[in-house]
Amino acid sequence: MKKNIYIVLLALCTSFGFAQQTPASKQSKPIAITGATAHLGNGEVIENSLIIFKDGKLTTVSSAAQTDLSGMEVIKADGKHVYPGFIVPSSTLGLVEIDAVKATSDDDEIGEINPHIRSIIAYNAESKVVESMRPNGVLLGQIVPQGGRISGTSSVVQFDAWNWEDATVKVNDGIYMNWPSSFTRGRWWLGEDPGLKINDKYSEQVDEVVSFFNETKAYGAGDQPIINLPYAATQGLFDGSKKLYINVDDEKGITDAIHFAKNNKVQHMVIVGGSEAFKVADLLKQNNIPVILQRIHSLPSRDDDDYDMAYKLANLLVEKGVLVALNANGSMERMHSRNIPFYAGTAVAHGMAKEEALKLITSNTAKILGIDKDYGTLETGKSATLFISEGDALDMRTNKLTHAFIDGRSVSLETHQTELYKRYDNKFKAGK
Amino acid sequence: MIKTLLTLMTFMCSFSLLAQEYFPKNDGVFTKNTNYTAITNAKIFVTPTQIIEKGTLLIKDGKVVASGASVSIPKNATQIDATGKSIYPSFIDMYSDFGIEKPKRQGGGRSAQYDPSRTGFYWNDHVMPENNAIDQFKYDSKKAEDLIKAGFGVVNTHIQDGIVRGTGTLVALNSDADNSMRIIEAKSAQYLSFDKSLKSNQSYPSSIMGSMALLRQLYNDADWYAKGNSKTKDLSIEALNNNKSMVQIFEAGSRANDLRADKVGDLFSIQYIILGGGDEYERLDEIKAMNAPMIIPINFPEAYDVENAFLAATLSIQDMRAWNQRPSNPKLLAEKNIPFALTMHDLKSAKDFQANILKAIEAGLSKEKALEALTTVPAQLLGKTDKIGSLKNGAYANFLITSGDIFDKKTTLYENWVQGYKNTIEDRNTIDIAGTYAFTLAGDTYEMVLSGESSKLKSEITSDNKKRGSKVSYANDWVNIAFTTQDSTKQEFVRVIATVDANKNLNGKAILPTGNELSFFAKQTEAKKDSEAKKEDDEDDKKEAVATVSPITFPNNGYGFETLPKAETILFKNATVWTNEKDGILTNTDVLIKNGKIAKVGQNLSEGGATVIDASGKHLTSGVIDEHSHIAAASINEGGQNSSAEVTIEDVLDDTDINLYRNLAGGVTSIQILHGSANPIGGRSAIIKPKWGHAAKDLIIDNSPKFIKFALGENVKQSNWEGTRFPQTRMGVEQVYVDYFTRAKAYEALKKSGKPYRYDTEMETLVEILNGERFISCHSYVQSEINMFLKVAEQFDFRVNTFTHILEGYKLADKMVEHGVGGSTFSDWWSYKYEVNDAIPYNAAIMHDAGVTVAINSDDAEMSRRLNQEAAKTVKYGGVSEEEAWKFVTLNPAKLLHIDDRVGSIKVGKDADVVLWTDHPLSVYAKAEKTIIEGVTYFDLKRDEQIRTQIKKEKSQLINDMLQAKNKGLKTQPIKKKEKELLHCDSE
């Protein structure tokens, strides 16, 4: 038995043995990127631009001008493109390494009401999946617990760190919850039809959430001799220090969720998923509620839906003035997170303007997550979290990074995968 | 009170006795009755087409002696005058489980059972031809009563359990006699289905394609056994061989399964009678081509309850149309001259039978056809026309006496005679006492209105303009009335019992709450008002008004075609053409397609009569080919055993899958639908073109190369769940192959030797592999297993055609080149299980550079519709040239599938499978504008736009119709959200 455990441990050690890329050290000297097309992330584009950053902050973002670049590291990027680092929200990156191996899974705690459960402390800064984000320009993420009715508290991290503390950009930024669904599945093991049917318990389930919020507010209003962890963790929703992210897709659920949040004086709420959000776009706009939209590369949810329903959802919302960001949720969501630039690209194919689509994974996301003071656009004074691509980074053909910076640090674009690539590419080239 | 009416009113006819003549008799003397019964002056339907307007039906000993206009009535006949009444042969249900206990699921453990539970029988528990309904049959008088009320006289009953179910029994619903009389044929037919027995947990077969393969193998085995080749005893096969000459009835249950059942039968020249699903109208031509007689259920769906708009929005056109169209199924089958019987099967209650028959008739089924489907057709299908289904001389005296047209809502069914025994349903002689009555009682005067049918009479009693609570019942000329006294607080009743006289007046006595009795006389002052009767009629008519029937499309869902599109001659002008040939990418080039082929490629082409499409600024390519997909199939895995070489996806294609259409919208024109990865030796593939609208069999490409799925790794060794099947390690996987191929060689040697051999579909398939006639697409991940499989193939001297997934192909690309195997991989999937830990997106590039023929596949219904994007990722990861990257999803998969002689490039003479893109095809910004297969435009952005508007319109029309149905008081069903299970390799 013991011997077996050693074998397993040994196996794990060898298989996870490749070192993660060493996190980059602090920016030591000013860096200037010249000649690139700069996509600022706020809708603007500067052709033939000059971008300078010092001590991790952008100092110049302008058209090419006669500037003294002496003492700077100069990156000539003529014909190339510069973008603010892409951000993937509502992600489980770093919480699970291999889907099918339970031992590597830390994303879903038991229990229904878990606002006190915090993702940040389980975030594995050395995950091989996390490092694979960088070569595609995805440099920041919001790490989110899953499951239950109230899943827990999220945090925002950057993707080049020694440990979770080091990675933290904004700790405990919000609470994630799953809105009760209008449909449930039959319990096949009791001989029921396993198909989806109307959820008879919908109101009951909503009431449970409402009464939890009532208790929480009552708890917050008075002196409490004993700390109640779930109630305490929820208080930030009422003073605006935390946002409430609600996973909900259907028209009715979204409407109910909005009324729920308003009635309970939740200061900031965000709809996550929102495959039918476009049907209540006006209501969202009126209440200033943003949407983190489901994976663009999804099938329509119903047979009769337009084949490009998922592709055009973002555009339908943006046209109505709703603030929209994109996530990668769904099967294999962690590894697919590196594809969010191409989700934005697909939105362009189905009606959205390119720079508008770029906002879905940069400035809009930063605004929703509350990190827009520092991230999401290329503007002076903000963090130098950006990358250079040989071509259009929303198109997979041309998304080829030459440099990436997080807070001015020049991060490695190597990964477990590029190492294997090089090893075997060399093997066969040498053999020829 | 009325519920016992039937039993009370049933009386023994004077001409027959129960006792069999050779039985000893100890309760009296032997008697024999040789009297006749003559029913005279009735309209007699001898058959649905042979009608005697005013005739006599003469019966004796439970059989028809004569029926005709001038039958001479013997002196020793009891005469029954049936003036104004009609006589029909009673109905037959040939698909019934009457008198057989419903099989119950036997509790199963968590782990799968691979071995059979029995010995001396076939190796598969679900094959039970040795079962005989007669052995379990117990006459069920209660159920018989329901059936008799619905007009049935004979049913063919069987044990509805298992794939081969054994024989059924033809039985008359004669509640007065015993089995010696009722049983017309103890073994009347053999029954089959695709469904496993509830009584066994043996895991094979776990899919419809497995059931089909099992049946085929069984027939082969039975033949081999019959020739005396088996050294052991198999009671199942012996029974099957004994049942061979019987009528074979197959429960298919849907139009797709109808065709599947017929396909199995055809191979062995067995023509099943097929129990359909009620959706046959969706593919009438294919159903007709089966040449199979059918049994059709009439369990028409109820309207959905659509009052809640949110919920209503989740309904699919397909489900809504089912409500709207299914009542037309019998009519459409009849118009197509497809012979069918009707059945009560799957109806919730016998009471729904009449209502649904009427629905079918309203939808256009002729009454004659309806009657045939319930009488002569089932009689003929069962080979019993001399005994049942008509009132010809010598047939059983099974008939119905009605007040008129049996398919009229207002007709009363008075009597149902079975084998000469009368069952009374409504007393034919009952006087209709509906009307207004006046009576006085203890000084008070009353008015009483009786309304409704005699058996369900309603009363309304008023006195002094005050309504009294009352209740009435009426049977056998006696009326019982109870009504409340003036003091409504007390709940005291006056009870009346009275008999009806010839003037419809009521005579009897009233019993007061005090117990005092008074004589009672009520005079009918007015018969049922005509206006009242008319009002009822009008209301009925309103209820019956049918909504317009939605057009039936191909396939019958939102995006189907009303008429299938045809091949066109199209000239594309000034396109950027990705030839995939030596010419590379040509700009400003014209392409002509004609007769389904690429006719010309060049500059300044012209062609009279061609549709000219200005393609300037656009790109024209050959269609995308997906080497690995699981769409459009009713099942993907037959995981009941570690080899399933006997199954084929071709058996289970689903031509209605919306993902076919969505694939077209992504420019896909050829697809390999692969078996899943549940077992080391999987099932055979279907290579199809998504010809939206065509029937499943027509999706399969002509002269399709033969393929089979093999699988290695975690799935086959059941790593990610509790498994008990061999193999559980990669070591075991190797031995599965060595074992099977060794046996296959021995099998082939025996076959070639000319000695008798047992035909084995699995072995035949493996022999094809050994002989290079069938190609393997092998699901694979890590290098050790890939290497192993190459060595197994080399040991048995065959070539592996394709490794699919092949995520560590980059680690042994040299070995792959040496062996000559292609690689069909994902662009960037990894980290979802342990064996893909080393999967890298550079895989395609490395393999390609090393000289492997590389394809990018989907294994996913979502990704398959944007494989162009996935190919583009290889430009990013590993720097593959755009021209070569494009071939990863076109020419290279064509090569791997051995169809590159007809598709995969734009070359004169190849199939006109082309896509017009709005942009550079590898660009994320590109959309397929037109997808053309063999010259037929199956997807067009413009048509798609139009159809969206149409769907919206049709949906609101149908919702409106359903709301109307609910307002009319018709039953509705709650909404269930339609959900399509997306199949991957791992799908069961």
Task: Flag whether A6 is in a domain.
Answer: no
> Of A354, A374, A394, which marks where a domain is finished?
A374
Nearest-by-Cβ selection for B951 from A251, A304, A429: A304
Question: What element of type H or E holds B884?
Answer: helix B882-887
Nearest-by-Cβ selection for B869 from A303, A342, A418: A342
Interface contact A417-B659, CB threshold 8 A: no
Interface contact A349-B927, CB threshold 8 A: yes
Q: Which strands sit side by side in the sheet containing A86-91, from one edge to the other?
A: A86-91, A138-143, A150-158, A168-178, A243-248, A269-273, A291-293, A324-326
DSSP code, position B852: -
My answer on whether A260 and A222 are in the same domain is yes
How far away is chain B from the Cα of A193, in angstroms, using its nearest Cα? 10
> Of B499, B515, B543, which marks where a domain is finished?
B543
Q: Could you tell me the pLDDT band of residue B967, with boundaries at 50, 70 and 90?
A: confident
Interface contact A346-B869, CB threshold 8 A: yes
My answer on whether A364 and A387 are in the same domain is no
d(CA B214, CA B124): 9
Question: Given a cut of 80, is residue B9 above it in pLDDT?
Answer: no
- Summarize pLDDT for B735-791 with one digit per residue, the tens: 999 999 999 999 999 999 999 999 999 999 999 999 999 999 999 999 999 999 999
Higher pLDDT, B429 or A82: A82
Mean pLDDT calculated for residue range B513-528: 88
Task: Flag whether B675 is in a domain.
Answer: yes
B837 vs A: CB within 8 A: yes
DSSP code, position B26: -
- Summarize pLDDT for A289-340 with one digit per residue, the tens: 999 999 999 999 999 999 999 999 999 999 999 999 999 999 999 999 999 9
The domain in which residue B481 lies consists of: 435-543
Mean pLDDT calculated for residue range B345-362: 92
My answer on whether B642 and B610 are in the same domain is no
CATH code of residue B461 = 2.40.128
- Summarize pLDDT for A179-189 with one digit per residue, the tens: 999 888 777 66
A302 vs B: CB within 8 A: yes
Higher pLDDT, B556 or B502: B556
What percent of chain A is modeled with pLDDT above 90? 88
ipTM value of the model?
0.94
A420 CB neighbours in chain B (<8 A) are 810, 838, 840, 842
Q: How many angstroms separate the first and last alpha carbons of chain B?
A: 53
Task: Flag whether A7 is in a domain.
Answer: no
pLDDT at B18: 52
Task: Flag whether A93 is in a domain.
Answer: no
CATH code of residue A179 = 3.20.20.140
Two tokens, residue B963: 């709301």
Question: Given a cut of 70, is residue A208 above it in pLDDT?
Answer: yes
How far away is chain B from the Cα of A301, in angstroms, using its nearest Cα? 8
Q: Could you tell me the pLDDT band of residue A10, with boundaries at 50, 70 and 90?
A: very low
B944 CB neighbours in chain A (<8 A) are 306-307
Q: Pairing mode, if any, of strands B668-673 and B624-629?
A: parallel
Mean pLDDT calculated for residue range A255-259: 97
CATH code of residue B606 = 2.30.40.10
My answer on whether A108 and A137 are in the same domain is yes
- 876-905 in chain B: CB under 8 A from chain A: 876-878, 882
Question: Given a cut of 70, is residue B519 above it in pLDDT?
Answer: yes
Interface contact B831-A394, CB threshold 8 A: no
My answer on whether A168 and A270 are in the same domain is yes
Alpha helices in B351-487 (DSSP H): 351-362, 367-374, 376-381
Two tokens, residue A379: 């503007």
pLDDT at B464: 87
Higher pLDDT, A377 or B110: A377
How far away is chain B from the Cα of A350, in angstroms, using its nearest Cα? 8
Interface contact A428-B828, CB threshold 8 A: no
Q: Centre a 10 Å sphere on the Cβ of residue B463 and count the other Cβ atoms it contains.
A: 18
Residue B902: HSE in the Cβ half-sphere, 13 Å Cα cutoff: 16
pLDDT at B987: 59
Task: Flag whether B420 is in a domain.
Answer: no
- Summarize pLDDT for A87-146 with one digit per residue, the tens: 999 999 999 999 999 999 999 999 999 999 999 999 999 999 999 999 999 999 999 999
> Of B861, B885, B902, which marks where a domain is finished?
B902
Nearest-by-Cβ selection for A198 from B311, B662, B828: B311
Average pLDDT, chain B: 93
My answer on whether A134 and A254 are in the same domain is yes
B978 vs A: CB within 8 A: yes
Q: Which residues of A63-102 are buried (b: 16+ CB within 10 A; e: fewer)?
A: eeeeeeeeebeebebeebbbbbbbbbbbbbbbbbbbbbbe
B208 vs A: CB within 8 A: no
Task: Flag whether A293 is in a domain.
Answer: yes
Question: Given a cut of 70, is residue A16 above it in pLDDT?
Answer: no
How far away is chain B from the Cα of A407, in angstroms, using its nearest Cα? 26
My answer on whether B571 and B677 are in the same domain is no
d(CA A192, CA A182): 18
What percent of chain A is modeled with pLDDT above 70? 94
> Of B902, B924, B942, which marks where a domain is finished?
B902
Interface contact B982-A299, CB threshold 8 A: yes
A429 CB neighbours in chain B (<8 A) are 849
B951 vs A: CB within 8 A: yes
Task: Flag whether A361 is in a domain.
Answer: yes
Q: Centre a 10 Å sphere on the Cβ of residue A379 and count the other Cβ atoms it contains.
A: 15
- Summarize pLDDT for B881-898 with one digit per residue, the tens: 999 999 999 999 999 999
B658 vs A: CB within 8 A: yes
pLDDT at B527: 80
Nearest Cα residue in chain B from A334: B831
Q: Could you tell me the pLDDT band of residue B2, with boundaries at 50, 70 and 90?
A: very low
B317 CB neighbours in chain A (<8 A) are 303-304
Q: Could you tell me the pLDDT band of residue A2, with boundaries at 50, 70 and 90?
A: very low
**Lowest pLDDT segment from B462-471, B551-560, B578-587:** B462-471
Q: What are phi and psi of B660, to 5 degrees?
A: -65, -45
Task: Flag whether B793 is in a domain.
Answer: yes
Task: Flag whether A341 is in a domain.
Answer: yes
Interface contact B869-A195, CB threshold 8 A: no
Interface contact A349-B925, CB threshold 8 A: yes
Task: Give the type of residue at B196.
Answer: K
Nearest-by-Cβ selection for B834 from A98, A195, A304: A98
Q: How many angstroms separate the first and last alpha carbons of chain A?
A: 47
Mean pLDDT calculated for residue range B389-412: 95
Helix, strand, coil percentages in chain A from 3-state DSSP, rounded to 5:
35, 25, 45
- Summarize pLDDT for B847-882 with one digit per residue, the tens: 999 999 999 999 999 999 999 999 999 999 999 999
Mean pLDDT calculated for residue range B114-140: 97
My answer on whether B557 and B468 are in the same domain is no
My answer on whether A37 and A136 are in the same domain is no
d(CA A386, CA A375): 9
Helix and strand numbers, DSSP H then E, in chain B: 26, 45
CATH code of residue A32 = 2.30.40.10
Cis peptide before B48, with omega less than 30 degrees from 0? no
My answer on whether B646 and B795 are in the same domain is yes
My answer on whether A78 and A173 are in the same domain is no
My answer on whether B826 and B849 are in the same domain is yes
Two tokens, residue A301: 């949810």
B831 CB neighbours in chain A (<8 A) are 97-99, 128-129, 332, 334-335
My answer on whether B797 and B834 are in the same domain is yes
My answer on whether A40 and A103 are in the same domain is no
The domain in which residue A34 lies consists of: 21-85+376-432
pLDDT at A222: 86
B665 CB neighbours in chain A (<8 A) are 307-308
Q: Centre a 10 Å sphere on the Cβ of residue B220 and count the other Cβ atoms it contains.
A: 17
Q: Could you tell me the pLDDT band of residue B25, with boundaries at 50, 70 and 90?
A: confident
My answer on whether B507 and B612 are in the same domain is no
My answer on whether A421 and A405 are in the same domain is yes
> Of A374, A400, A423, which marks where a domain is finished?
A374
My answer on whether B661 and B562 are in the same domain is no
My answer on whether B580 and B537 are in the same domain is no
My answer on whether B482 and B594 are in the same domain is no
What percent of chain B is modeled with pLDDT above 90? 81
Q: Are B859 and B805 in contact (CB under 8 A)?
A: yes
- Summarize pLDDT for B553-579 with one digit per residue, the tens: 999 999 999 999 999 999 999 999 999
Number of folded domains in chain B?
Answer: 3
pLDDT at A14: 41
Interface contact A397-B872, CB threshold 8 A: yes
Residues in chain A: 432
pLDDT at B294: 98
My answer on whether A287 and A391 are in the same domain is no
**Lowest pLDDT segment from A33-42, B85-94, B711-720:** B711-720
Residue of A424, A132, A336 whose CA lies nearest to B852: A424
My answer on whether A304 and A314 are in the same domain is yes
Mean pLDDT calculated for residue range A11-15: 41
Task: Flag whether B230 is in a domain.
Answer: no
Beta bridge partners of B429: none
Interface contact A424-B846, CB threshold 8 A: yes
> Of A374, A400, A424, which marks where a domain is finished?
A374
My answer on whether A113 and A167 are in the same domain is yes
My answer on whether B594 and B644 are in the same domain is no
d(CA B126, CA B165): 8
Number of folded domains in chain A?
Answer: 2
My answer on whether B589 and B605 are in the same domain is yes
Q: Could you tell me the pLDDT band of residue B980, with boundaries at 50, 70 and 90?
A: low
How far away is chain A from the Cα of B621, in angstroms, using its nearest Cα? 18
CATH code of residue B696 = 3.20.20.140
Interface contact B831-A98, CB threshold 8 A: yes
Residue of B679, B649, B648, B646 whose CA lies nearest to B766: B646
